[in-house]
Structure 1
Amino acid sequence: MSDTIRYGIIGSGMMGIEHIMNINIIPDARVTEIADPHEGSREWGRATAEGEIEEYTDYREMLEKAPVDAVIVATPNFTHKAVLGDIFETKLHVLCEKPLCTTFEDAKAAAERAKTHEGVFWVGMEYRFMPPVTRFVEEVHGGSAGKLRMFAIREHRYPFLQKVDDWNRFSRNTGGTLVEKSCHYFDMMRHVVQSEPLRVYASGGQDVNHLDEKYDGETPDILDNAFVVVDFANGVRAMHDLCMFAEGSRNQEEMSAVGDSGKIECLIPEGNVVIGKRKPKSVETVHVPVQAEVLKAGFHHGASYYQHLAFQCAIREGTAPQVSAEDGLRAVAIGLAAHRSIEEGRPVLMSEFGL
């Protein structure tokens, strides 16, 4: 590998563009190739990348011909199985956007293949890497709230954005909202709680968004709100509160960890971490800033930039990925369990997935 890590971007839509913008501001890294069958997406990628790039309509040609060190998979969710199958035939380092795959069987197969893949295999769970979230996790794991008993993650945001051919309007393409969107948060639950889930209870529906849209006579079926409760093996209870018609929120993401001696909160995009103590009662607010240049390079409060730094460190030093294919599999499984709970009106045991 050369001193500069050469990237190939597979899928130069919105998330692919965010990766390009962040790679642009990292020394010794450069996007040299883009593969996307959609001309408009390739044009967007061409306009965003710095320096000359090669373009491909078929990512398989790029894998065969291009002198790259690492690839980013930012294609529609339902394509991940096939794309990863071809990448596993190479020795390239890979950062695969979430969700790993849309079904448990496909995600499990990818996780198994990743165990023997010669390159670094990393799943794109950006929320772990937001600087305020990083500080929040440090406080939780450092014992600022005492022994953790409850953990909650709220995302109140805007509806799903339009994508090429509106592929994200149907659960068969995305894996379902609680896989597509919320696998980030189920990954955060495992990361913060440091245990594995036992059972999942969920309630959700499609009550506001996309109900007046039709695609070949078919109405979108993606959930736009849900509550998900997860019981962990170490006794911690976790909850995810999702609403995708809540643009009027002051903060899009809010996290809360409550222990036996205190409470810690994280508020995004305010960038504040609030540390509360029970005895004596006290509340301290710590602002965690992010460089303006980093904030401008995407929509995840600087997370993509810091994730790329960590990914590149793993490549250069030969260390294990901070977010593995196994992590990606388990996040998908929790999302699928939540959907099953909603559909069948019952708690779902993770043992039903063999986990």
Structure 2
Amino acid sequence: MAKVKIGVIGCGSIAQHRHLPEYKMNEQVELVAVCDINTERANSVAQQYGLKAYTNYEELLASGTVEAVSVCTPNYLHAPISVAALNSGVHVLCEKPMATSEEEAKAMIEAAKTNGKKLMIGHNQRFVASHQKARELIEKGEIGKIYSFRTAFGHGGPEGWSVDGKDSWFFKKDEAFIGAMGDLGVHKTDMLRYILNEEIVEVGAFVESNAKDFANVDDNAVCVLKTESGIIGTLAASWAYNGKEDNSTIVYGEKGILRLEDDPTYSLVAQYATGEVVNYELGKIQSNDEGGQSNSHVIEQFVDAVAEDKESPVPGEEGLKSLAVILAALKSSQTKQITRV
């Protein structure tokens, strides 16, 4: 079977810890090239993997050597690079948040459609075993009507793991556009939409910068969300959880409660109103703390979609819906109003 020829654009931490090692492990992949505007970084990563190094993504795309690329750049470049890649006939896996505006996101979706290429957004929380199981249990009516939820995604901040530390683009508004809400919050809106199988329609939010004095983006946000059927809940996204990462979600229903990634041993705990408790050991959620081989399932899903010509598992339309919630949260925080998505 012919292997899928892949290039990775942007050689920062997410490329080095997730995309490159996961592509390398994948038997359906031939890694061809990497690209980074930092020449030294591009060369050093290329050397490590035995690839060709580029410092200009247009040159890489024009080379005709790759069938698909991962876009692992600062947020403000996601859309222009993805659109350029799709227009040059290359499939795209883009990191989240997919874009910095709805217009940009729609341009990406349009480019994928026009060129008949796959666009996938790297929302890995859909592939976490506990989240998949929760979706299944909720769908089966296992905990009855859903009333409420709370979810959080917080850690000490990207300076702990970004290749550039405190100088990282994550903290610069003109490159990142949005801070913790774009880094972590968008993962959780996507996860909630996925497990509840409903759209979020209204948002009230405080999106603040109160923890990192060297940054000019948000680092602490708390949102109240309402879904189309009237489920209400909270979402917290933070770069100021300094002791331990929190990636937990709790769903409250008429017959019981589901606790996801909340217990150190069991990735899903179902607590029923009858007093019965069911513990599921489904393997740990991925965190930035762990060493060893990473498998976010995003890469294998993307490669499989390209190799087998299947639908993109997280298409641009889905990325846009999750982004729209974040944009509504920003607007709510600025206007001090509840905002419709």
TM over 0.5: yes
The CA distance in 1 between the partners of 2:10 and 2:272, in whole Å, is 46
Could you say which residue in structure 2 is the equivalent of 1:208? 211
Q: Residue by residue, what CA displacement relative to the aligned partner does 1:40-94 show, whole Å, maximum 9, x if unpaired?
A: 4224523553xx3111111111111142221101111111222123112222221
Q: Which moved more, 1:40-49 or 1:147-156?
A: 40-49
* Structure 2 equivalent of residue 241 of structure 1: 236
1:324 counterpart = 2:315: yes
Instruction: Indicate the residue corresponding to 2:260 in structure 1.
Output: 266
Deviations 1:127-146 (A, max 9, x none): 21223333333333333222
Q: Which residue of 1 aligns with 2:144?
A: 146
Residue matched to 1:216 = none
- How does 1:52-201 map onto structure 2 within 5 Å? 52-161=50-159, 162=162, 164=164, 166-177=168-179, 178-201=181-204
C-alpha distance 163-172 of structure 1, shift in aligned 2 (>3 A):
farther
Preserved CA contact (<8 Å) 2:86 2:117: no
Work out the CA distance in 2 between the residues paired with 1:197 and 1:101.
19
Q: How many residues align?
A: 331
Contact 2:184/2:238 (8 A) holds in 1? no
Residue 77 of structure 1 aligns with an amino acid whose one-letter code is: N
Q: Counterpart in 1 of 2:328?
A: 337
Change (3 A) 1:135 1:44: farther
Match of 1:11 in 2: 10
Moved runs in structure 1, 4+ residues, more than 3 A? 162-165, 268-271
* Pairing partner for 2:279 from 263, 266, 285: 285
Whichever residue aligns with residue 7 of structure 1, its letter is I
> 2 CA distance for matches of 1:295 and 1:145?
36
> What is the CA deviation profile of residues 187-239 of structure 1, one whole-angstrom value per residue up to 9, with x for unaligned ones?
11211222222211012322222x1x3xxxxxx32222121111111222232
| C-alpha deviation, 1:284, in angstroms | 2.0
Give the unaligned 5+ runs of structure 2.
none
Normalized against structure 1, the TM-score is what?
0.86
Q: 2 CA distance for matches of 1:259 and 1:115?
A: 39
- The Cα RMSD (Å) is 2.3
Q: Pick closer, same or farther for the CA change 1:138–1:45 going to 2, 3 Å.
A: farther
Conserved 8 A contact 2:263-2:269: no
Q: 1:266: Cα distance to partner?
A: 1.1
Aligned to 2:25: 25
2:177 and 2:217 in contact (8 A); partners too: no
Q: Is there any run of 5+ residues in structure 1 with no aligned partner, and where?
A: 214-219, 351-355
Distance apart, 1:3 and its partner CA: 1.9
TM-score computed with the length of structure 2 as normaliser: 0.89
One of 290, 294, 303 as aligned partner of 1:312: 303
Cα displacement (A) at 1:345: 0.9
Identity of aligned residues (%): 22
Is residue 221 of structure 1 aligned with residue 223 of structure 2? no
